[in-house]
A and B are shown apart, each in its own frame.
Chain A
Amino acid sequence: MQFEETLKRIQTHKGVIGTIVVNAEGKTTLDNSTTVQYAGLLHQLTMKARSTVRDIDPQNDLTFLRIRSKKHEIMVAPDKEYLLIVIQNPSE
């Protein structure tokens, strides 16, 4: 329940275009095809970022990833079993 409240709070935040929660297998909470595309690609990127961090220092671990592009900003918060992805319009 707390998770859903937090998710709702993020979703109603100004500028947030979308939120996606991805589980360990890369499956998402929403089934729109764009969402699936985002989720798959970001899941791979997060795994790559995590292994980059661990290759540099095996005792370290990824806590957050922030990808800023011309059109928007994607924030990824990885957890043990889930990935929370938030897509936000940076100008707002």
Chain B
Amino acid sequence: IIQGQKGVQGIIIVNAEGIPIKTTLDNSSTVQYAGLIHQLVMKARSTVRDIDPQNDLTFLRVRSKKNEIMIAPDKDYFLIVIQNPSD
């Protein structure tokens, strides 16, 4: 359903260890995105918890000049969607 949305360039599902388990992108892009974003999400999550240990990250949205990366973390995995913001 997400893949059919206009502007979506890629979807990656990453498990808790940062290993991609499903992807619509090519292998090397997937591995690169998954690794870097996994680190960023861990950092975002610990930032939220450092500010308030009872709080937790529910969503992360990284907008850049070329696209927008949305990350929905869950207990065991996270969903990464890369979208072209102009669409």
Contacts and interface: CB of A to CB of B under 8 A. Distances in A.
Interface of A: 37-38, 41-42, 44-45, 48-49, 52-53, 55-57, 59-72
Binding site secondary structure of chain B:
mixed
Contact of B47 (A44, A59, A62, A63): A44
Contacts, number: 80
Binding site secondary structure of chain A:
mixed
A88 to B, nearest CB: 13
B63 interface: yes
Interface of B: 32-33, 36-37, 39-40, 43-44, 47-48, 50-52, 54-67
A68 B57 contact: yes
